[in-house]
Amino acid sequence: MLHLPLARAQLDRKAELRSDSLALQKLEPSAIFYKFYDGNFFVTDGRLAKFAFADKPTGEHETYFLGVDSSGAGHFLWNQADSPSEDLRLSSLREIAGGLSAEEIGIAVQGQGLALWHNSHPRCARCGKETKSCDGGYLRRCDEGHPHHPRTDPAVIVLVKDRHDRILLGHQASWDEGRFSTFAGFVEPGESFEAAVIREVQEEAGVLVSELIYLGSQPWPFPASVMIAFEAITDNPDHAMADGTEITEIGWWSRDSLKADIDQGKLRLPPFVSVARAMINRWYGPNHREDLRSKDSWR
């Protein structure tokens, strides 16, 4: 299985406490709080800034319960609607993920996933009335009583190989020049993970894959996905062709050609916190940390 950097959550989520408002109130005075505003976390020295209950925002905000740590301390997120007054830096999860501890990563992906979902669901999809956060942040309900739960959209991601153990990577038009990655896409209604892998590769790269191997999964709250990772084999590598819409360029790489293109500045790989990079590193082998030192960028 893959060791995935965003799949290292350590808090006990204590789901049974979410509907117990008294229990949550008892946790709050000694709890650790984090602040989120407009898609960004409050940070200090590149790490999540920690706040006490007394630092509660004065403006409009919602509070979400994240869980308890091994010491029994509660962890909460304040999702602020008003501009912050604190003189602290705001940074995106993309910017700080590489420097966070396992506990912080779990807190950040959980907190951001919840906050972004709440921000995009201010009104009921059934009646149009305003919704309010309930159950520690794991439910929104309107005045008519219609419940809405946080959702996560499954997406498959696949490392395509041929019988010579080369890998197929693609470039999207919106990416910076030289950036290549694996193939990915959302699972459609009524579709299995495996069927989605086959369809996405055919659509984007024009080849048929088989012999799918499940590698692992990782939350990807940008804004609300979980990535399900596979390897697959194609027997018709010469048929590979970019679809020209989502993928504008594709290519096959051996380990030697991958390293050579990185060394010459022709190729840039996905960032270290991505599933795609973990799959490429796994395929490359134990020297990936020394050999694949391409410049990492989220853009």
Return the pLDDT at 298: 47
Whether the Cβ atoms of residue 268 and residue 295 lie closer than 8 Å to each other: yes
Return the pLDDT at 94: 92
Return the pLDDT at 85: 76
Query: Which of helix, strand or coil describes residue 133?
Result: strand
Return the pLDDT at 299: 40
How confident is the prediction for the chain on average, in pLDDT?
95
Domains and CATH numbers, the chain: 15-148 (3.90.79.20), 153-291 (3.90.79.10)
What is d(CA 233, CA 207) in angstroms, rounded to the nearest whole number? 10
pLDDT digits over 205-232, tens only? 999 999 999 999 999 999 999 999 999 9
What is d(CA 32, CA 100) in angstroms, rounded to the nearest whole number? 16
Whether 141 shows a pLDDT value over 90: the answer reads yes
Listed as own residue / partner, the contacts of 193-198 with beta carbons closer than 8 Å and 24 or more positions apart are 193/154, 193/156, 193/228, 193/230, 194/230, 196/156, 197/156, 197/158, 197/230, 197/232, 198/232
Average pLDDT over every residue of 69-73:
97
**Cross-strand bridge partners of residue 249:** 171
Whether the Cβ atoms of residue 210 and residue 235 lie closer than 8 Å to each other: yes
Residue 213: CB atoms within 10 A of its CB come to: 11
What is d(CA 161, CA 283) in angstroms, rounded to the nearest whole number? 10
pLDDT digits over 6-46, tens only? 999 999 999 999 999 999 999 999 999 999 999 999 999 99
Whether 296 shows a pLDDT value over 60: the answer reads no
Name the residue with tokens 């395509």: 160
What is the pTM for the complete model shown? 0.92
Return the pLDDT at 84: 83
- The helix or strand, by DSSP H or E, that contains position 103, with its residue range, turns out to be helix 102-119
